[in-house]
Amino acid sequence: MSKITIEDKTFDLKDVKSLYPAVLVKTGYDEVETTEMSLAWIDVESKGRVEITGYGIFVVISDEEKHSFLYEDRASLNDAIGKLARQLK
């Protein structure tokens, strides 16, 4: 059975419904409310029009269970993605 570990949390891959990196941006609705956007959209389309508040790797187990691993900058996210990629080889 294949497993992955992100930070200090281990997941059985058979239980993972979705696994993805994303950028957290302010929604404009409230000072603390954020939403997830794809890295590709930020790189190509955002053109500085959104305020980035962080980066993350998100693991969805079910409609009720989602784990978020947050990083302050893109370099930290890229390091975490690299560690994850090495586990998936």
Is 89's pLDDT higher than 90? no
Output DSSP code: residue 73: S
Tens-place pLDDT, residues 16-72: 999 999 999 998 777 779 999 999 999 898 887 888 999 999 999 999 999 999 999
Strands 34-37 and 18-26 come out as antiparallel
**Cβ–Cβ < 8 Å for 85, 45:** no
Q: pTM of this prediction?
A: 0.88
Tens-place pLDDT, residues 21-31: 999 999 877 77
**Residues shown for the chain:** 89
Residue 53: closest CA among 68, 75, 31: 31
Residue 84: closest CA among 73, 69, 72: 69
